[in-house]
Every structure is written in C-alpha cells, then in structure tokens.
Amino acid sequence: MSIEGAGAGPHGLKTQRLRPIHAEACHRLDRLCRPHGWDLPQWHQELEAQQRGDRGRFVLGVLHGSRLVAVTSGWLILDELQILVVLVHPAQRRIGLARMVLSELMREGREQGASGATLEVAADNTAALGLYGSLGFRSTGRRRGYYRDGQDALIQWCQLEGATG
C-alpha cells in the first residue's frame, strides 16, 4: 500500500499510510525511541482518524518486511502542517528514513493546502536539527523546559514550496 508518488528510499523501502493494525508497532517504536511517547490508545486514535479519512490527519511509516522502522505523524490545522512525531528505529538511523517520511508528510500537507510546517525539537538534538535545516526548517522560538527532563525545545518553521491552498 505505497503512497502514489512516493519514491523508493534506502534499500528500496517506501513510505506508506499506516492503518490501525500498525498501532502496536507504532507504540513499540515510540517506546524504543523516546521515554515519554504516546500511549497505545493515542496511536489507535491517530491511525483510526486517518483511516476514516479525517482531513488533515497523517500517519506515515516505513516497513522493512513486517517490522516498522520509521513513522511520522502530523495534523493539518488551517494552512499549517503540525509535525507531531518523527521516529526512526535506532538500528536504522542515518540512512535517510527520517528524510524520506518527512518529505512525504510535507508533500501530502502541501497537497491538502499547507503553506508552512512547524515542529518542536530538543535543543540539543544536533542530528535532528541538521536534518530539519536541510529540509528548510529554521528556529523561530524556544520553549523553555518543554520536555519532562527539563530540556528546552526549539520551535522550527518551514515555508512549503508549491502549496496548493
């Protein structure tokens, strides 16, 4: 069930829309990647909203065989794509999966009328900041003590080229 227009990424992997049957895999990957991620009901809610066809709800992932190795989620609010989650399995990092799922999420957001995208990222996450910068994101603010461990978040913004809205 690959998304039309999504090119093959590393090792021939493709981005695809995830479904409610992927909720447990999303939750496992979330727990592996971050200590205070979404709970299982939250993943079910996001995946069910997308499957119902709720406009502006996105959950995209990359499966390697039957194993989920990357996932991203976002909401379209008016003309802004809010990127909520970007997760890549630790053993699959630095091969382009985050770029692949984010690029597809941003493309889908543009198609549904987003003119810009925003996300929060830990201020010390240099790998993520490098990736987001290469995709056109720039820091526009700081949320002090945003994360449970007291760490600051940087608010990132990107103008989406070719928005159709």
CATH number of residue 155's parent domain: 3.40.630.30
Q: Answer whether residue 16 is part of any domain.
A: yes
How far apart (Å, rounded) are the C-alpha atoms in residues 90 and 39?
19
Q: Answer whether residue 115 is part of any domain.
A: yes
Looking at residue 5, what is its pLDDT? Answer: 37
How far apart (Å, rounded) are the C-alpha atoms in residues 154 and 50?
28
How far apart (Å, rounded) are the C-alpha atoms in residues 145 and 124?
13
Q: Answer whether residue 5 is part of any domain.
A: no
Q: Answer whether residue 1 is part of any domain.
A: no
Residue the block writes with tokens 């909203």:
49
Looking at residue 1, what is its pLDDT? Answer: 30
Residue the block writes with tokens 């913004």:
157
Task: Specify the number of domains making up the chain.
Answer: 1
Q: Answer whether residue 2 is part of any domain.
A: no
Looking at residue 12, what is its pLDDT? Answer: 79
Length of the chain: 165
β-strand partners of 67? 64
- Please list the pLDDT of the chain residue by residue as tens digits (165 residues): 333 335 566 677 999 999 999 999 999 999 999 988 999 999 999 999 999 999 899 999 999 999 999 999 999 999 999 999 999 999 999 999 999 999 999 999 999 999 999 999 999 999 999 999 999 999 999 999 999 889 999 999 999 986 554
Pairing of the two strands 80-88 and 116-122: parallel
Looking at residue 7, what is its pLDDT? Answer: 53
Q: Answer whether residue 143 is part of any domain.
A: yes
Q: Answer whether residue 145 is part of any domain.
A: yes
Alpha helix (H) residue ranges in 39-96: 40-52
Q: Answer whether residue 4 is part of any domain.
A: no
- H-helix or E-strand containing 138? strand 138-143
Q: Which two tokens stand for residue 52?
A: 């119902």
Range of the domain at 142: 10-159
Looking at residue 14, what is its pLDDT? Answer: 93
Long-range contact pairs involving 125-129 (C-beta distance under 8 Å, separation at least 24) = 127/93, 127/94, 128/86, 128/98, 129/154
Looking at residue 134, what is its pLDDT? Answer: 97
Apex 118 CA angle, 115 and 124, nearest 5: 150
